[in-house]
Structures are given as structure tokens and as C-alpha cells.
Amino acid sequence: MLKKFISGLLSGLIIMLLLLGGSWLALNWYANQPVLTTIKQDFIIEEGDSLTAISQNLASQGIIEYPKVFSILGRLLDLSGSLHVGDYLITPKTSVRELLDMFSQGKVRYYDVTLVEALRFSDILKELNQHPKLTEPLTQYDAKQLFKALGIKGSPEGLFYPDTYFFQSGASVKSILIRAHERLEKVLKEEWVARDMGLPYKTPYQALIMASVIEKETGAAFERPDIAGVFVRRLRLGMRLQSDPTVIYGMGNSYHGKLTRRILRTKTPYNTYVIKGLPPTPIATVGREAIHAALHPAAGKALYFVAKGDGTHYFSESLEEHNRAVRKYQITDRRSDYRSTIEKN
């Protein structure tokens, strides 16, 4: 009797082990299966989502089969309590196990926003406020509070560095602006320390103002040092900068695409045909190249330049030569495809 009991017990244990082994083999097979999606697909884990909810959401979006098995696998791997909130990018051929690893390790998707050179702050704020993955858009009042927190007194123009910024879904507009401002301060400090001696700037901020004018005047990147050289020589000689972009900036929304003689004679703080020296603030976002050019202007004697209509400029040493170039490039031989920047192949 005892022998039969022991034999039955062993048989039961063997069957149970076989069942367990078969279950594990089945789970292992499932874990190595690729997800169902055939294209790159976003998936979001929200705050408070349980493993069961995540499994069901994956199945409803057509990413996995057998959501209950997915939940069991996650619990057996002891991952149910370590799945990170965030936005994930799921690609074809990702296995179920890799998907769980992605969630448990918090390999969330990063987005980016690019702030380009020569933008006004209002353009930057609009760009950030409209980004679909950034949150908490700033009003003008909010922006002023941020400036105060950053120690920005007066105009914010030019104080946010143009670059590509990466962030997780849900990051705030404010967080990008803080990073852009810190980046600008770092770059400006680095360039100021290595500046040429004898420049007509008393502060890094004045160099930034000059850099913004250079940025707006430049259609061809290689001309930045030459344009800087013209403006620096004019400052040294007490000549007015006579830069159209500063006039346009000073007009604000009243500019409608054409500068007239009357406009050029109208005094504003930014009309460098009327005022001497630099305008009171930068007029646009500024990259490192323009800052470097302002602090390392090219040597030479040119005091004037005029756009040739192909994105480059003609530089002149005398007013007579400059006037001839103006007639040639702006009137008699003006290009039919006149443009302010170089065409990119």
C-alpha cells in the first residue's frame, strides 16, 4: 500500500514538473517573439498604470498578443513594480522580453526642438509654445517671471542660445528656455575669455549685441569675420554702423518689407543710420560662429559692404567704390533671382 502511495506521489510530482517545465518553455518562447507592429510606434505609460493595464493597452494598440501572458511574464521576471512612466518608441523586431526590459530600464523616447540663429525671442517662444511634446506654454507674463528668475533685466533678445535641445515628452517650455539661456552664457563666457585685444567692447553683452548684428547681416557663413571687421573699424572711427537689420528690428510690427529714406532718417534706439555706436540690445539669437567673429574680426580696410544678390557681399574701402557697387548690384545689374542667402545644393 505504501509502495503504491509513494509511486503515485512521484508520478504526480513528475507530471507537475513536466507541466511547469512546459509552461516555462512556453513563456520563454513567448518572451523571444517579436512584437506585432510592422512600423515604428509610440507607446505611453501613464502615471499609475499597472502591469495589467500596460498589457491591455499594448494589446489594444496591436503591439502584442496574449496580454495575460505578458503580465505573467512581467511578474515572473519581477518587473511589475519597476516599469517607468514615459513615452516609448517601439520598433519592429523588438522582442517581448526586450519590450519589458525597455519599460523597466526607462529607455524612454527623446524628442527635440531646434532654435535657429537670427530669430527674435517672440519667434522662439512661439516655436516652443506650439511644440506638441512640450507642456506648460508660457504667456508673456510667465516669460517675464522667468526672466526675473534668470536675472535677465530688460530685453531677453539674444540671451537664448540657438541649438538642438533633446527632452522627454512632457518637459516644459520653461525647462528648454533655462537650458538655452545657460548655454548662451557658457558660450559667451568661453569666447570672451579668448577674445582679441583692443576691441571696442567694454562688456561681453556689447560683444553679443555686435554678434547679433553680424548674424542678421550674414548670408554666407564665411563672411562673418569680414562683416565683423567692417563694423569694428566703423566703431573705432566713430562712424555709424548703418545696418538695415537694426533699423528693421526697431520698427517692430510696423515694418512691411521696405526701407525708405524717411524710415532711415527716423530716430529710434535701433536706427544705426541715426545713432552712433551699438544698439541697446541684441536683435536676434546668436550662434557661436557670430560671437567668435565679433571677438575675432578679420583684418582689412573695408568700411562698407553691399549685398550682391547671391547671398554674398561686395566689400569696399571707400564711399565712392561702395556707391558704384550699390548701383551695380542693387540697380543696373540686380539679379532676377536676388536672394539674401547662399543656395544650398
- Distance in angstroms (rounded) separating the CA atoms of residues 206 and 200: 9
Give the pLDDT score at 342.
65
Residue 28 confidence class, pLDDT cut points 50, 70, 90: confident
- Distance in angstroms (rounded) separating the CA atoms of residues 250 and 134: 31
3-state secondary structure string across 150-163: HCCCCCCCCCCCCC
- Distance in angstroms (rounded) separating the CA atoms of residues 345 and 326: 28
Residue 26 confidence class, pLDDT cut points 50, 70, 90: confident
Give the pLDDT score at 340.
72
Q: Given a cut of 70, is residue 310 above it in pLDDT?
A: yes
Give the pLDDT score at 1.
56
Give the pLDDT score at 257.
83
Pick 229 or 24 by higher pLDDT: 229
DSSP per residue over 127-182, as a string?
HHHT-TT-BSPPPHHHHHHHHHHHT--S--TT-S--SEEEEETT-BHHHHHHHHHH
Q: What is the largest CA-CA distance in the chain?
A: 124
Pick 45 or 15 by higher pLDDT: 45
Within 10 A of 36 (CB to CB), how many other CB atoms are there? 15
**Structure confidence by residue, pLDDT tens digits, 205-234:** 999 999 999 999 998 999 999 999 999 999
Q: Given a cut of 70, is residue 12 above it in pLDDT?
A: no
Mean pLDDT of 52-67: 94
- Distance in angstroms (rounded) separating the CA atoms of residues 292 and 288: 6
pTM of the model: 0.83
Residue 20 confidence class, pLDDT cut points 50, 70, 90: very low
